[in-house]
Amino acid sequence: MSNKQPQVHELTMVEAVNLALRRALNDDENVVILGEDVGTNGGVFRATEGLKQDFGFKRVMDTPLAESMIAGMSVGMATQGMRPVAEIQFMGFIFAAFEQIVCHAARMRNRTRGRLQCPLVIRAPFGGGIQAPEHHSESTEALFAHIPGLKVVIPSSPTRAYGLLLSAIASNDPVVFLEPKRIYRMIRHRVTDHGQGLPLDTCFTLKQGSDVTLVSWGAMVHETLQAARKLEADGISAEVIDVATISPLDFETIRRSVRHTGRCVIIQEAARNGGVASEISARIGESCLPWMKAPVQRVTGFDATMPYPRHEHLYMPTTDDIVAAARQTLEGI
């Protein structure tokens, strides 16, 4: 038995993604990485930097500019015993691969009555906040959360990016792994490279509270934590929940919190109509109504295309928006 201790690294989120990919490639020879510029160039955000040099071009493969082909080839490899991790450079370009993901990857186990499984991961940077042009700032996670057979995972920190990505790669079902690029390099955490994944069926309670429950995921978790600190300075105790896996949704953790506080604000960067916040709000209405002291509030983006850089800040929900919504729930409005 080796006495080698796991190494601890001080990493940004994108570096944690790279570390998880490196660990998976090292531990399982069936893991392969493919996508546009993921090899020689190390990826558009450098998430795969150095992997081709260390593991070779047969395991870290540059592909043509063809998202449908990337997803289709991944489905084929996954059904034949490999564990492909495909990168779509920006979520706005994932729609070309939508048919392969929804009609083939998500249905493979059901279609073959369990004879074939589809252990693939589709990674995509998503969300706004970096002043990118059109098609580079989408937050359309709800489209994938609606599809049976898909897991949809969104990390909010380097630690969770490392652990959740390892679990996504180990999953025998397809996972859409959405990385909020706004926080790729915003924070650093100590990440232990022990090769252990985090559960894909659990919300993470980041802060205990008793007056109001704040629910969010991805980059908006950071504005939500800032809002909780502002509220705390005014004597308001907010519980903060990071959903992390939006499908399948661990609603039990949210339900326990809401029954305790009696109030809930759900925060998402995505457009309001038909979003994950709407689903959570509906479930609270179905099962928590006797405990509610005020209607559920949603803080969301607008039902509009993400603006070009000059007006992007007008679209993004802010800490002050969250604080205002929490105060409304406390006033019973």
Which sequence positions are flagged as catalytic?
Answer: 136
Instruction: Tell me if 249 sits within 8 A of 243, measured CB to CB.
Output: yes
In single-letter form, the type of residue at position 75 comes to: V
In whole angstroms, give the CA distance from residue 285 to residue 24: 41
**DSSP notation for 244-274:** -EEETT-HHHHHHHHHHHS-EEEEEEEESTT
18's CB contacts (< 8 A; 6+ apart) are 46, 47, 48, 49, 50, 51
Beta strands 189-193; 212-216: pairing state: unpaired
Q: What's the CA dihedral at 119, 125, 127, 129 to 10 degrees?
A: 160
Cross-strand partners of 301:
271
CA nearest 153: which of 81, 98, 161? 161
